[in-house]
């Protein structure tokens, strides 16, 4: 098959390219060349251009499928899908599990109500220059609703030919968020570690390699529609995750599980300072990491052992010289550990 990848040099796209090449597909990468611009990817055709201004560079070519890894604004996805509607057979849009408006009930599926913008918010979004950096509300409170509009824009341009992948927390090498990487590196350091809530809290994640292999597989089978894609719900707990990291990194870590009450009192930010941790008492978000993936499992979604993901993330992160972008600082952790141990 001939596959066009929009974006593709930052994180998931790299794994998608590798998965496609392993299956002997012909891959063309369309990106701005601002990331890894000097890197030539072996056996991959590269077209440098901005999707907001340079779609004409894709003229005169045809592909079996396009994978859009970097669609955040509906006007951007609309333009790409409309331009490519006669040039590709299928439009694969990388969406997000954040599209759902109500995750108060565990095991929510693809039929759960999605988030919506108000008319005023839509007008605000329409004024955004897609060539600029997206910050603030676009990557925060609007994120899920905008992904919904992007899905709809693709489907409107190519009805019946769109695969919307509502991905959960993607982890592994090249992850720019460092959410999983924080726990891998912090636990590997050993010593006394501040852990959030209770070890039995359920979490979900998916290795970027597993997500990529599944996507390439369903493209090969011509599947369209909407799919939640992440790890199985109710299988992985926070405690199991950090204990397995401890084992794989041969760490002497000792975990101190601070209560939600204490964390709130000390203004420890869930998710940012404590990645993968959500408020246990907030009914609106506490079940976010319990997304149902039965549809994807029926289409042969598979997950490798967590130990494999830990080893790959650990090996990659040790090659990076930038500071972790997520997680609590060492100084603040030390201070909070002392307070928690005195309290306990």
Alpha helices in 95-159, H assignment, sequence order: 119-126, 143-157
Residue 314 has φ and ψ, to the nearest 5°, of -65, -45
Of the candidates 183, 167, 200, which has an alpha carbon nearest to the alpha carbon of residue 92? 167
Asked if 164 and 225 touch (Cβ cutoff 8 Å), the reply is yes
- Domain residue spans of the chain: 1-167, 172-202+232-288+305-344
Categorize the per-residue pLDDT at 37 as very low, low, confident or very high, splitting at 50, 70 and 90: very low
Q: What is the rounded average pLDDT of the residues 197-204?
A: 96
- Residue 226 CA to residue 206 CA, distance in Å, equals 17
Summarised one tens digit per residue, pLDDT across range 126-184 is 888 777 766 666 667 899 999 999 999 999 999 999 999 999 999 999 999 999 999 99
Residue 89: predicted pLDDT = 98
Summarised one tens digit per residue, pLDDT across range 75-118 is 999 999 999 999 999 999 999 999 999 999 999 999 999 999 99
Mean pLDDT score across all residues of the chain: 94
- Residue 194 CA to residue 100 CA, distance in Å, equals 31
Strand partners, 100: 114
Q: What is the rounded average pLDDT of the residues 295-303?
A: 98
Categorize the per-residue pLDDT at 8 as very low, low, confident or very high, splitting at 50, 70 and 90: confident
**What would the CATH number be for the domain defined by 172-202+232-288+305-344?**
3.90.25
Categorize the per-residue pLDDT at 39 as very low, low, confident or very high, splitting at 50, 70 and 90: low
- Residue 83 CA to residue 183 CA, distance in Å, equals 42
Which has the higher per-residue pLDDT, 32 or 210? Answer: 210
Residue 124: predicted pLDDT = 86
H/E stretch holding 165: strand 162-167
Q: Which of 36-50, 54-68, 153-167, 259-273 has the lowest mean pLDDT?
A: 36-50
Summarised one tens digit per residue, pLDDT across range 226-241 is 999 999 999 999 999 9
- Residue 262 CA to residue 273 CA, distance in Å, equals 14
pTM of the model: 0.94
179-199 burial: b if 16+ Cβ within 10 Å, else e? bbbbbbbbbbeeeebbbbbee
How many C-beta atoms surround the C-beta of residue 235 within 10 A?
12
Judged against a pLDDT cut of 90, whether residue 297 lies above it is answered with yes
Residue 150: predicted pLDDT = 97
Judged against a pLDDT cut of 60, whether residue 40 lies above it is answered with no
Residue 326: predicted pLDDT = 96
- Residue 184 CA to residue 178 CA, distance in Å, equals 9
**Percent of the chain at pLDDT exceeding 70:** 96
- Residue 58 CA to residue 30 CA, distance in Å, equals 8
- DSSP percent split of the chain into helix, strand, coil, nearest 5: 35, 20, 45
Residue 310: predicted pLDDT = 98
Residue 34: predicted pLDDT = 64
Quick one: CATH architecture of 1-167? 3-Layer(aba) Sandwich (3.40)
Q: Counting runs of H as helices and runs of E as strands, what totals does the chain give?
A: 11, 13
Residue 38: predicted pLDDT = 42
- Residue 200 CA to residue 314 CA, distance in Å, equals 24
Q: What is the rounded average pLDDT of the residues 33-39?
A: 54
């Amino acid at each position: 098959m001939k596959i066009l990848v929009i974006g593709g040099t930052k994180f998931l796209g790299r794994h998608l390219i590798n998965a496609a090449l392993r299956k002997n597909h012909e891959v063309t990468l369309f990106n701005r060349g601002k990331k890894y611009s000097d890197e030539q990817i072996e056996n991959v055709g590269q077209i440098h251009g901005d999707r907001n201004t340079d779609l004409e560079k894709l003229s005169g070519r045809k592909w079996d499928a396009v994978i859009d890894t970097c669609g955040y604004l509906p006007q951007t996805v609309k333009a790409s899908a409309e331009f490519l509607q006669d040039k590709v057979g299928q439009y694969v849009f990388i969406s997000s599990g954040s599209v759902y408006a109500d995750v108060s009930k565990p095991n929510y599926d693809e039929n759960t109500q999605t988030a919506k913008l108000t008319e005023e918010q839509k007008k605000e979004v329409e004024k955004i220059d897609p060539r600029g950096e997206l910050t603030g509300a676009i990557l925060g409170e609007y994120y899920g609703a905008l992904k919904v509009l992007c899905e709809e824009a693709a489907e409107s341009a190519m009805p019946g030919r769109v695969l919307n992948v509502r991905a959960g927390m993607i982890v592994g090498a090249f992850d720019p968020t460092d959410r999983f990487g924080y726990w891998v590196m912090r636990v590997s350091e050993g010593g006394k570690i501040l852990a959030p809530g209770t070890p039995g809290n359920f979490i979900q994640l998916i290795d970027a390699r597993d997500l990529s292999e599944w996507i390439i597989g369903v493209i090969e089978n011509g599947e369209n529609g909407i799919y939640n894609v992440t790890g199985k719900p109710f299988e992985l707990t926070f405690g199991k995750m950090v204990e397995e990291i401890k084992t794989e990194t041969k760490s002497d870590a000792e975990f101190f599980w601070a209560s939600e009450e204490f964390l709130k009192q000390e203004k420890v930010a869930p998710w940012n300072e404590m990645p993968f941790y959500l408020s246990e008492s907030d009914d609106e978000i506490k079940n976010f990491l319990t997304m149902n993936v039965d549809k994807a499992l029926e289409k042969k979604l598979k997950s490798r052992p967590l130990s494999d993901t830990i080893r790959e993330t650990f090996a990659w992160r040790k090659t990076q010289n930038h500071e972790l972008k997520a997680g609590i600082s060492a100084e603040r952790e030390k201070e909070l550990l002392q307070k928690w141990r005195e309290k306990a």
